[in-house]
Amino acid sequence: MPKLGVNIDHVATLRQARYAGLLDAPNCEPNILAAASACERAGAQGITIHLRADRRHIQDQDVFRLRSSIITKLNLELGNSSDILETALTVLPDDVCLVPENRLEVTTEGGLDVAKNAKALRRTVERLHAAGIRVSMFIEPMADQINASADLGVEAVELHTGAYANAAPTFREDEIERLRAAANLARERGLVVNAGHGINYDNIKELLSIKGWNEFNIGHSIVSRALFTGLEGAVREMIRLIEGNNS
C-alpha cells in the first residue's frame, strides 16, 4: 500500500504572509509543529518540507524544530546548494529529495536534470550517504533521468506528476502510460518509486492504477481541502483514497 507524505510548505506560506521575521511572536500562526502533528495523528507516514534558497515559506528553525518533534519521518526537499546542504547534514532528516529550484517560479516547475548535472550531484549524494541520509531525485518520468539517478546510487526517485495533473482529458491516459513505463524502469534499476506534484483528490485515482508506488508526497491539495474540513480530516480523506476506500 502506498504511503502518504504530507508537504506542509503552504502552512508556512500562510504564516509568512503575516509573521515573516516574527516566528517567535506569541501570536504567530499557524503553528507548523501543530500542523505536522495533526497530519501524523490522521495517519500520514511522513512530513515533507522544502527549504528553499529564498526561504519563502519554510525557515531554518522550522527544519530543526520539526526534526525534534515529529514521530514519523522527515523528508527534506532541497536544491543542490552548499549552504542548505550543510543544514541538512546538521539536521539529519530521514530522507533528502534533491529538486530543481528557480527563484522566479511559484512552485517547483519540473524535474531535476540529473543526467545533465550528474557530476555536480555526485558529491552531494556521497556526503548525504556518508551521514546516513537516504537520497531521492525529483525527476521527470524519463528513461535518461531514471538511469542517471540509478547510476548515482540514490535509493529512490520521485516522479514529477505535474504533466499528468495538468493534462487535458484526452492526453491524460498518455501521461499515465508514461508514468507507468518510468515506474517500471525505475524498479528494474532497483529504485524505490515515489510520486509528487499536482496530485489531488480526483486525479490520484488514476495514478493508483500504476502498481508499485512507495509513497505519494502531497501538499497543496491537502492544505486547500483543510480550509473546509480541517487538516486531520483532509489527510484522512486522502488516505482513504489511497487505500481504495472511496466511501
Active site residues: 50, 77, 197
- Residue 165 grid cell: 495533473
CB neighbours of residue 56 within 10 Å: 16
Q: Which of 48, 141, 163 is nearest to 97 (CA)?
A: 48
Residue in the structure block whose three cell numbers are 504530507:
6
Q: Which of 81, 87, 86, 52 is nearest to 67 (CA)?
A: 87
What angle separates helix 9-19 from helix 220-229, to the nearest 10 degrees?
70
**What is d(CA 181, CA 157) in angstroms, rounded to the nearest whole number?**
14
Which residues contact residue 244 at a Cβ distance below 8 angstroms, ignoring those fewer than 6 apart? 208
Tell me which long-range contacts 34-40 makes (C-beta under 8 A, separation of at least 24).
35/8, 35/11, 35/231, 36/8, 36/66, 36/69, 36/70, 37/69, 37/70, 38/230, 38/231, 38/232, 38/235, 39/6, 39/8, 39/231, 39/232, 39/235, 40/70, 40/71, 40/72
118 touches 152 (CB < 8 A): yes
